[in-house]
Structure 1
Amino acid sequence: MGKSKKRSRASAARLNPLAGRTAANRSLVKKLDPLLSQLSNGTPNEKAMALASISVICEDPTARSELLRQKLVHVVLSQLINDENTDIVVESFGLLRNLSLEEGYDVSTNLWRSGIWSNIVKGFQQLQQSLPKCEEAPLESRRSLFDYADNLLSLVVALANGSDAILAQVLKEDKLQTIFQVIHSFLQYGLDKLPLVLLNTILDLLYDFSSESFEFIEYVMQDQELAAFVQNLDQSSRGNELTKVLVQGISLQFADMDMSYEKADSIIHNVCSSVQHINWQELQVDVEPLNDQEMVNQEPNLVAQKIKDYTSKRSASLMKLQSIEIAVDLLTATTEMVASLYEETQKKLPESLSETLTKFIPPILTNLQPHLTSRILISWNNLLWLYITLGVNFFQLSDELSSNLWQFISSLPQDDQVDIQLGKWSVVWVLLKTIALQQDSNHWLTGFQLQNNVQFVQNVISVYNKWLESNNVELCEKLIGVLSTLASFQGQIEINRIVGQFILEQLVSERTPPLLLVDLTSSLFEIYADASFDYDEPVYVKDGFQSIITSKVVPHLRQTFKLVDRNKDALLKERCTECFNILDSFIHYKQNERE
């Protein structure tokens, strides 16, 4: 099944470098240069104003790219996060958090390699020293302290979301204990005294890391105070939409070893009821970035007010957007847990959960799929595989539902957005598997315009070749699944021939990695498992597949699989060995099958 990606707003590895400077870029540079100059050389007030303006301007991708090109991160790290002005320090960490979220891998890795963790630890120490005296401090000082805490903790989450290597570092025991000590300080201070934004950031950290690591869950459960906090979360009535979905998310992750059908059903309904009132259209308007041209040209006092109003409105909308994103992630995760629970116990689902899965969830996914496409595709993928596991016929739920989903899938562009392409082809694969289970599969193939559709198959092969060049093995696996399922339908001999020849070509290609060789070989076993299939004799026998496998495929696999290092990847080595042994049996079986 599939799991939703992290909430970083950019891919972990950019496919396109930043574009060269155009006339518009040069004009933008002229307008940004004074702000960057003030950031480095201005008075405290000028620095603060420039920092606030840049934080808003960075919401625009073009302006953000230009500011990053102008070494914005270096300026913030070298001059601002250690500034004598507390407000500048607080806002600087907020800006770094936003940049890490927006840019993902590149900025996160840059920050981590520049030693940002030591600055974060220093900030944590300042928080822990200041918190006991917080009650006596003026309101503005308390607000600044809580903003500082929010920016530091959310920066940790953003960094971990930007890079798997950073996540692994953050989840080491020493760093986790540092983070836990800060959370302890807030628990002792009193969570009811914290701003809701900071409470949500603490919950988000617990949810995010628990969704990534069983070890993190174990560390939390070994901490008596944190474990009690997590276990009693449901009893708290305080919070907004984000609080509610995060509480359900934490409940889901920490119940992983003690999941039940009833608990899964409850989580699904609680999550959806928390966000169902949010108006998506209003949300889209409120998160639009400010016009950076206006920001640069207006008077400072007008800019300050505009920033304040914009930030408040946008923060509320982003909170709601994040709530919906997490809600979809939780639907995806809960569906996967139900599948695991069913496979382990073979226990029949209660009627209420069956209705939730077949009547309640599909309309929600349909309504949201144009807006949160990559997330929704993963959720559809998990739900459709669960239907197959449970013996639920998706096509019998509603003709309109299946046709609308296929139309949506077909309308998606073939672009470089990896998450969307991965989700798209995952759903195509499981829909084809669902068609294969129908008594009249030709009816559904015709309805989806896939019956003997050579152009579609050639397009899938073209997409495979493209992503193989990019070394995206996961996406190539999905495409192999699509092709092998298409090739297995009766009455499509030419389709089978094209796919079969493609598989053989890939099995002798030097560019095919071992993992895909295993998948391709397994597809061969599945497609040509029986001489009674209508394509077996005209394709496998008459096109000489047996001879090609014996003379070319076997030597290539033997040599390639031999080079797989058991010490580096024991599981892959085991799969390669098993695959090669089955291939030997398959060859003998096909040799004697028609005798």
Structure 2
Amino acid sequence: MGKLKKRSRSAKLAAQRKPGASKDDKEFQKIAPLLDKLKSDAVNDRSMAVGAINTLCDTDPEIRKLFLKNDLVRTLLTKLVHDSSDEVVVESFGLLRNLIIEEGYDLSVFLWRSDIWTVLEDAFKKASVSIEHVKDDKVSAEQRGLLFDYIENIIACLGSLCLEISTEMFHSDVLPKLVSNDILKFIIVLIERNYTTKLTLSALEFLYDLSTISAPFIEAFSQDENIKQILSGLNLSNDLSKVYLIGLHFQTLEFSNGLDDNQTIQIADSLLAVANKVAEANSRDESSIKVYELVLDIFATIAEIKGQEEPVSTKISGMIESHVVPFLRVVFEFCSVKVLLCLTNILCFYRNETPESVIELVNFVRPAVLQQLSQKLEEPDLETINLYLGYLEVSSEITPADELRPLAEVLLNFALQLGEITPVSAQITGHLLHILTKIGKHSDDLELTTSITKFIVDKNFVEPITYYNSTRLGDLRKKHQYLIETVLVDSINSIFDLFDDDYPYNKPIYHEGGLHQLFKDNLPHYKKIYKAIDKNSEPQLKALSEEAFQNLERFIQYKEGEAK
């Protein structure tokens, strides 16, 4: 988010007289009363306004954008978090936390540049002083509750900010301040004293979340003997707290290269001891769902880490088959997205030598997955769509093409609506190319295979090359890095897969459809593109692109012989 310039009153009046300004005025009137109440002298008005704005921002993205456009963040940072009312301050930090979560990176960077650190640093100093008097006789239950809410909100604000900014910014700007200002020690004190389950969970979640993004952060707390002693001596009864502690132990073992097979199995056993107990009680409340999701995240990470080892560990394989797969089946109903993330990594772990128990699970979840994906494609959440399509690509090796066929039209429609190339859309395109190629290759419907071929060739081969040739290289790198080259490699490999033999559709689509000449015409352009890839910064992509070019040359020669 850019810093909004203040406009003069005369400029505002001039804008009001312009024909196009009435819509903005009408939209502003929706939020004007609440913005006015933020400036009210009455505490109840300010408190009510913050609560109402929080609800509106959470449920209506357009209204949220409108509030942000009208300096809500500035009002929060300069006025409301310093309010004379403790209740308004607590609610304001809660609103700020939710805005960071919803708006992500851009708002987080804007906040950092607006010196949110000073605001948070002062808040933590006040909290660390106040917490020492929380059990004083003169402190009422209401005041005590407000203090705990205040601490939870500032921890969540800082945690969300750390997760949303770049890793580089976190390491260079935030982590040194976390350690030098004793905020990390304060978080540990909260866990050690365990004032309330909710507050302890907030502190543990903060530690765990940051440990998943930063090895230096793990080092900062794992090498502190006092912190290690406190964490190892904790005896918490809450199931989610237990899982967070196990997760922290897992992260420190991975950081110290101590995650051997036996340690990994111990971690898995500890997680399942908690999670299965919750599952056996048929618990579906928010805390139970978080237990399942956190356990699934850790299992997904284990599968990813262990899948990189050669050869595949028989111990870990046995543990996944006997313990993890049954758990995935049990919790799929209420944690389908996390189960698919975990199952994707498990399928990659087995490298196409998938055991029967995993195949059975893939078959079990398939009807629900396909139905859910159809619904997700109607929503704007590209990250979740990417996860579903990634799973579908990996599992397509053990999924019959006719099971995927009903999705072909909706996948094609979605694929053709994808806009400019971004990191997420490039990944989605790669998944779609793989899935649709399989459908097209095994379809008896010539029209469908023709449509899939157009998607592969026109949208993901010809269009990227044309765009590349019409744009300065510096602008391409600045806007897309090497995403265009990545998409081109994926599309060329799909072309090879679709036309690698003389299938019934080969002659009408390839030879009679003019594809042969199209590839011959574009071969020199693609050569220029792959030659421009920097082999020092992108060695893997350079090698893949060179291989794709050489194979495309051979493919054209092969197809010429086929036509004779």
Q: Same fold (TM over 0.5)?
A: yes
- Matching of residue 422 in structure 1 with residue 421 in structure 2: no
Tell me which amino acid in the other structure corresponds to 1:211: T
How much does 1:60 deviate? 4.2
Q: Name the SS for the 1:508 alignment partner.
A: helix
Tell me which amino acid in the other structure corresponds to 1:169: M
Tell me which amino acid in the other structure corresponds to 1:378: L
Q: Which residue does 2:202 correspond to in 1?
A: 201
Deviations for 1:480-501, whole angstroms, at most 9, x for unmatched residues?
A: 1112333444867765555445
Structure 2 vs 1, CA of residues 40 and 460 (structure 1 numbering), >3 Å: closer, same or farther?
A: same
Q: Is the 8 A contact 1:487 1:499 kept in 2?
A: yes
Higher RCO (CA 8 Å, separation ≥ 6 residues): 1
How much does 1:468 deviate? 4.0
Q: Which residue does 1:554 correspond to in 2?
A: 523
Q: Name the SS for the 2:123 alignment partner.
A: helix
Structure 2 vs 1, CA of residues 84 and 579 (structure 1 numbering), >3 Å: closer, same or farther?
A: same
Deviations for 1:160-203, whole angstroms, at most 9, x for unmatched residues?
A: 34x343x5422337634525722224545771243322321221
CA distance in 2, matches of 1:499, 1:52: 50
- Matching of residue 507 in structure 1 with residue 461 in structure 2: yes
Q: Which residue does 1:391 correspond to in 2?
A: 354
Tell me which amino acid in the other structure corresponds to 2:122: K
Tell me which amino acid in the other structure corresponds to 1:108: S
CA distance in 2, matches of 1:146, 1:399: 47
Q: Which residue does 2:480 correspond to in 1?
A: none
Alignment of structure 1 residues 22-171 onto 2, 5 Å: 29=31, 33=33, 36-44=35-43, 47-48=46-47, 50-51=49-50, 54-55=53-54, 59-61=58-60, 67-68=67-68, 70-105=70-105, 107-129=107-129, 138-140=138-140, 144-161=146-163, 163-165=164-166, 167-171=167-171
The answer to which of 93-102 and 387-396 deviates more is 387-396
Tell me which amino acid in the other structure corresponds to 1:159: L
How much does 1:152 deviate? 1.8
Deviations for 1:357-382, whole angstroms, at most 9, x for unmatched residues?
A: 443312421x12xxx56445434433
Structure 2 vs 1, CA of residues 52 and 423 (structure 1 numbering), >3 Å: closer, same or farther?
A: closer
CA distance in 2, matches of 1:218, 1:110: 28
Tell me which amino acid in the other structure corresponds to 1:424: Y
- Matching of residue 273 in structure 1 with residue 276 in structure 2: yes
Structure 2 vs 1, CA of residues 278 and 210 (structure 1 numbering), >3 Å: closer, same or farther?
A: farther
Structure 2 vs 1, CA of residues 413 and 28 (structure 1 numbering), >3 Å: closer, same or farther?
A: same
Q: Is the 8 A contact 1:388 1:434 kept in 2?
A: no
Q: Which residue does 1:333 correspond to in 2?
A: 301
How much does 1:521 deviate? 1.9
Q: Is the 8 A contact 1:433 1:485 kept in 2?
A: no
Q: Which residue does 1:13 correspond to in 2?
A: none
The answer to which of 398-407 and 473-482 deviates more is 398-407
TM-score (norm 2): 0.75
Q: Which residue does 1:263 correspond to in 2?
A: 266
Q: Is the 8 A contact 1:244 1:274 kept in 2?
A: no
Structure 2 vs 1, CA of residues 502 and 353 (structure 1 numbering), >3 Å: closer, same or farther?
A: closer
Tell me which amino acid in the other structure corresponds to 1:507: F
Q: Which residue does 2:314 correspond to in 1?
A: 347
Q: Which residue does 2:247 correspond to in 1?
A: 249
For structure 1, the residue ranges without an aligned partner over 5 or more in a row are: 1-19, 284-316, 436-443
TM-score (norm 1): 0.71
- Give the counterpart of 1:516 among 487, 506, 510: 487
Q: Name the SS for the 1:172 alignment partner.
A: helix
How much does 1:139 deviate? 3.4
Tell me which amino acid in the other structure corresponds to 1:237: N
Q: Which residue does 1:432 correspond to in 2?
A: 396
> How much identity, in percent, do the aligned residues show?
22
Tell me which amino acid in the other structure corresponds to 2:461: L
Q: Is the 8 A contact 1:565 1:573 kept in 2?
A: yes
Alignment of structure 1 residues 301-450 onto 2, 5 Å: 317=286, 319=287, 322-341=290-309, 343-347=310-314, 349=316, 351-365=318-332, 367-368=333-334, 374-386=337-349, 389-393=352-356, 396=360, 401-410=365-374, 412-435=376-399, 444-446=400-402, 448=403, 450=405
Deviations for 1:297-354, whole angstroms, at most 9, x for unmatched residues?
A: xxxxxxxxxxxxxxxxxxxx5x55544543443343344345345x554535464531
Q: Is the 8 A contact 2:240 2:290 kept in 1?
A: yes
The answer to which of 457-466 and 127-136 deviates more is 127-136
Q: Name the SS for the 2:82 alignment partner.
A: coil
Deviations for 1:517-556, whole angstroms, at most 9, x for unmatched residues?
A: 1111233344445x4766667765676655543x223212
Q: Which residue does 2:427 correspond to in 1?
A: 474
Q: Name the SS for the 1:41 alignment partner.
A: coil
CA distance in 2, matches of 1:229, 1:350: 34
How much does 1:116 deviate? 0.9
CA distance in 2, matches of 1:409, 1:542: 35
CA distance in 1, matches of 2:350, 2:439: 20
RMSD: 4.1
How much does 1:516 deviate? 0.2
Q: Which residue does 1:238 correspond to in 2?
A: 236
CA distance in 2, matches of 1:374, 1:507: 31
For structure 2, the residue ranges without an aligned partner over 5 or more in a row are: 1-22, 469-483
Q: Name the SS for the 2:355 alignment partner.
A: coil
Structure 2 vs 1, CA of residues 221 and 43 (structure 1 numbering), >3 Å: closer, same or farther?
A: same
How much does 1:39 deviate? 2.7
